[in-house]
Chains A and B, each alone.
Chain A
Amino acid sequence: MATINANVTISSDISSYPISISKTMSMTKSANPAVGLEETTGLRTKKFTSTTAAVIVEHDELTDDKAHKVYIRNASTNRANFFYVAYNASAAAAATAETIGKLYGGDWMLMPYDGNVNITVASSTASETQYLEYMVFADGIVAAKG
C-alpha cells in the first residue's frame, strides 16, 4: 500500500476573528481505513482552446462506489475565466444538473468521488487558452480491455 497525505490550509480574515483551518488526511481504501490507496491515473495537464465539454475522468476505468479522490486545478491565472466542473456523462455548463462549480484561474478542488459517473469540464472561453491539471487517487482501477 502507498502513503498519500493531503493537507489543506484555509485562512480568512473576513471575520473580525480570523480563522485558520488546517487539516491533513491520509487517503485510504473504503473497505479498510488502515490501508492506503495504491493506484492512480497519474497527474495530467491538458490544454483547452474551445468551450466544448470534455470528459477528464471516465468512470468505467474506476471501480464503482469506492473512496476515490479527484484533484483538479485551473493552472491558468486569469480570474475572469473558469472551467465548469460537473459530475455528468457528457456535459458541463451552468444548466447541467450536476455541475458542481466554476473553477476560476488558480483555483483548485479536492473531492471524494464514487466512480459511478464521468467527471466533465468545459472551459468558459475559446479566446484564451486555459490549462487544467488533474489527478485521480483511485480505490480500484478497472484495466482497459484490449
Chain B
Amino acid sequence: MATTATISISSPDLMPGSSLSIAANTTLTKAGVTADLTQMETGVISLVSGTEYRLGPLATEMAGDAHDIASYLYICNTTTEDATYYIDWGINETMIGRLYAGDWMFIPWNASDDAAEIEIEPQGGTNTIEYAFFNSDFILPTAAS
C-alpha cells in the first residue's frame, strides 16, 4: 500500500542564465520507519468566507502519541476567482500563509496537541477546496449509545 508524492518546479526565466528545474519524489511512510501509511481521507468542500474551519483530526483523534504519527496534508484551492479570494491557513491559531485561487500545498503535519489543529479560513467569498489527508492512526469518534 504505497503512497508517493512527487513534485517538480520549473522556471525558464526566474534566474536569468540558469533555468530552474527541481524534482523530488518521496514514499510516505509511518513515522521513523519504512512501513507504508494505511489510512487516508479525501474530500471536496465549499466554504463560506469569514469562518474558521478545522481540517483533519485533532491530536486526541489519533491513536497513540500524536507527536510520533506521520501525517501528510494536501490542499488545493480550486476557486477560479480573483485575488480577493483566498484561504488563510495556519496551525495553533496562527496564520502561516494564503492559498490563492489555483494554489496547492503539501505539508507534513504532526499535531502536538489538540490546539495544534490545521485551521483554514476562506476570504473574499465562497472558496472550494480539494484535500487529501494521509496517516496511519486517526480514529473515528465513538457513536453515542
A-B contact pairs, 24 of them (CB 8 A): A3-B12, A12-B4, A13-B2, A14-B1, A14-B36, A14-B40, A21-B74, A25-B102, A25-B104, A30-B83, A31-B83, A40-B14, A79-B34, A80-B32, A85-B108, A87-B94, A94-B67, A96-B112, A99-B110, A108-B24, A110-B105, A112-B97, A114-B96, A117-B94
Interface residues of A in 17-36 (CB under 8 A from B): 19, 21, 23, 25-26, 28, 30-33
Question: Is the C-beta of B140 less than 8 angstroms from some C-beta in chain A?
Answer: no
Knowing A33-B101, A67-B100, A112-B98, say if A12 contacts B134 (CB, 8 Å). Answer: yes
Q: Decide if B48 is an interface residue (CB 8 Å cutoff).
A: no
* Interface size of B in residues (CB-CB distance below 8 Å): 67
A135 to B40, CA, bound (A): 29
Given A40-B14, A79-B32, check contact A107 B26 (CB 8 Å).
yes
Interface positions of B from 57 to 108, Cβ below 8 Å from A: 67, 70-71, 74, 76, 82-83, 86, 89-92, 94-108
Given A79-B29, A87-B91, the answer on whether A10 and B132 have CB atoms closer than 8 Å is: yes
Interface residue? B9 (CB, 8 A): yes
CA distance A88 to B134 in the complex (A): 25
Chain B residues with CB under 8 Å of chain A are 1-15, 20, 22, 24, 26-29, 31-34, 36-40, 42, 67, 70-71, 74, 76, 82-83, 86, 89-92, 94-110, 112, 115-116, 130, 132, 134
Interface check A8, CB cutoff 8 A: yes
Q: From known contacts A67-B98, A68-B97, A94-B112, infer whether A10 and B5 are also in contact, taking CB-CB under 8 Å.
A: yes
Q: Are B98 and A98 in contact (CB under 8 A)?
A: no
**Interface on chain A toward B: helix, strand, loop, or mixed SS?**
strand
Which residues of the other chain, B, contact A67 by a CB distance below 8 angstroms?
97-98, 100, 103
Q: Do B98 and A114 touch (CB < 8 A)? A: yes
B33:A15 contact, CB within 8 angstroms? no
Question: Does A26 lie within 8 Å of B102, measured CB to CB?
Answer: yes
